């Protein structure tokens, strides 16, 4: 099958609205958390999140068009524009037939949940007359960002949305990878976006006892693997990758960040929201990805763990990692300690971290983790404190979603 490489990156995150700013803050070990500003959270149990800062959609999108797009679509447009520019692609210079071979697979977990809330509040706050915005449905539906990105650049290749909760954007990247290597496209824009820092989302996750309540210490709240972790921190944003068939990239002299080696998708088939105590989902995803990539466990240098800072989730994942890697001292980090949990966009943002880890030879640290939970498997090489500068050849990127969805991608140094 055809080889697939990464030629462009784009990011809108709680740690910066460009890839360079995002990566610099990750390497420095900074947190993107702070008090909620998007709505009055005074009466909420959790009153902080990892919000995107300084983003103004009108700086990038025509004002007439902007009113048609929910914030998750705006994030997706800007991140994908960045990735396309970074890849040195000019679609206006391509023929229509060339653009038939360029597609978009874009993910989200919640779609336009902000638009949905806003419209229902207006309806229930009125006299019962259904005065809904004519853009309500296209702003809300989960597939619309994928469609808008293709429309914006006149891309006629495969186009759809993947939804697998917090595994969504890793699923999108693996699906785009498969599309290219099977010869169904030359270039794919893949990633995901999320804008779910809303009343219902914060309230719902809080009621489920999933969110941290460290309101007095937002920046120290996300502490994966730590004995005192008390839940995840909500995040938002977008991550975009340009994936390209290797020979196509070489012919146009593209800069290559890394090679996408393989992907594994599975279901733990265990519980609505919980993860199995035996780590089955994590072990299946990693094992399938390794087989797909033709790699052995001992070749992997670094695992970017899904680790959200929830009690059972962190333990289950590390048990799964131990099942696959045994005593191989693979480095494990949880970068959600800095970004918060970007839900459907998490896999894409963490793919960017994985790719730049290879490019720059840096394994970011898990911040805020002081005392490892004694329930975790012993002897795991969890990187805490400061980033480690060391050659990195292969990285595993884990993502898991409510419903038991597992998606694992493996990136490697381009040879």
CB 146 within 8 A of CB 193: no
Q: Which residues pair with 189 in a beta bridge?
A: 104, 242
For 204, the token pair is 């719902």
- Among residues 4, 9, 26, 166, the one annotated as catalytic is 166
Nearest alpha carbon to residue 43 among 195, 202, 196, 197: 202
- Other Cβ atoms less than 10 A from the Cβ of 203: the count is 16
368: left (phi over 0), alpha (psi -120 to 50) or beta: left
User: Active site includes 166?
Assistant: yes
Q: With CA atoms as reference, report the closest residue to 156 among 114, 99, 209.
A: 99
Q: Are 108 and 145 in contact (CB under 8 A)?
A: yes
| CA-to-CA separations, 199 to 40, 163, 165, 312, 320, in angstroms, rounded | 9, 21, 19, 26, 34
Could you tell me the two tokens for 123?
Answer: 């309806």
CA–CA separation, 231 and 308 (whole Å): 7
Q: Which two tokens stand for residue 413?
A: 């140094």
**DSSP letters along 250-309, please?**
HHTT----EEEEEEEEEE--S-SS---TT-HHHHHHHHHHHHHHT--GGG--EEE----S
CA atoms within 13 A on the CB side of 232: 25
Please state, in angstroms and rounded to a whole number, the distance separating the CA atoms of residues 231 and 331. Answer: 23
Closest CA to 139 of 78, 95, 76, 199: 76
Tokens coding 294: 């033709």
Structure tokens at 33: 């958390």
Query: Structure tokens of 55?
Result: 């983003």
Active-site residues: which are they?
A: 166
């Amino acid at each position: 099958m055809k080889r697939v490489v990464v030629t462009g990156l784009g990011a809108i995150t709680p740690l910066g609205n460009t890839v360079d700013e995002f990566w610099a803050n990750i390497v420095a070990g900074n947190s993107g958390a702070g008090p909620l500003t998007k709505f009055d959270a005074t009466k909420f149990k959790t009153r902080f999140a990892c919000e995107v800062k300084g983003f103004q959609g009108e700086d990038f999108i025509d004002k007439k068009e902007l009113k048609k797009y929910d914030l998750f679509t705006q994030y997706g447009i800007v991140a994908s524009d960045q990735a396309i520019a970074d890849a040195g692609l000019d679609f206006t210079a391509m023929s229509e037939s060339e653009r038939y071979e360029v597609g978009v697979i874009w993910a989200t977990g919640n779609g336009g949940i902000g638009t949905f809330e806003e419209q229902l509040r207006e309806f229930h706050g009125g006299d019962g007359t259904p005065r809904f915005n004519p853009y309500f449905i296209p702003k809300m539906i989960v597939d619309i960002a994928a469609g808008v990105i293709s429309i914006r650049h006149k891309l006629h290749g495969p186009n759809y949305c993947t939804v697998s909760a917090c595994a969504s954007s890793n699923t999108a990247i693996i699906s785009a990878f498969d599309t290219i290597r099977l010869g169904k496209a030359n270039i794919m824009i893949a990633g995901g976006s999320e804008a779910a820092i809303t009343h219902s989302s914060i309230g719902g996750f809080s009621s489920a006892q999933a969110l941290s309540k460290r309101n007095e210490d937002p920046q120290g709240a996300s502490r994966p693997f730590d004995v005192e972790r008390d839940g995840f921190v909500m995040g938002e944003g977008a991550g975009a990758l340009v994936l390209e068939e290797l020979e196509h990239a070489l012919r146009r002299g593209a800069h290559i960040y890394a090679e996408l080696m393989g992907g594994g998708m599975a279901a733990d088939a265990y519980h609505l929201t919980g993860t199995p105590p035996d780590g089955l989902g994590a072990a299946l995803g990693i094992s399938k990805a390794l087989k797909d990539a033709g790699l052995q466990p001992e070749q992997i240098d670094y695992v970017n763990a899904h680790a959200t800072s929830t009690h059972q989730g962190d333990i289950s994942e590390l048990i799964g990692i131990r099942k696959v890697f045994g005593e191989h001292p693979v480095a494990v980090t949880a970068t959600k300690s800095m970004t918060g949990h970007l839900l459907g966009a998490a896999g894409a943002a963490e793919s960017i971290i994985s790719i730049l880890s290879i490019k720059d030879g840096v394994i970011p640290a898990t911040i805020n983790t002081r005392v490892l939970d004694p329930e975790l498997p012993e002897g795991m090489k969890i990187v805490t404190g400061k980033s480690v500068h060391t050659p990195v050849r292969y990285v595993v990127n884990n993502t898991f979603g409510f419903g038991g969805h597992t998606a694992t991608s493996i990136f490697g140094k381009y040879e």
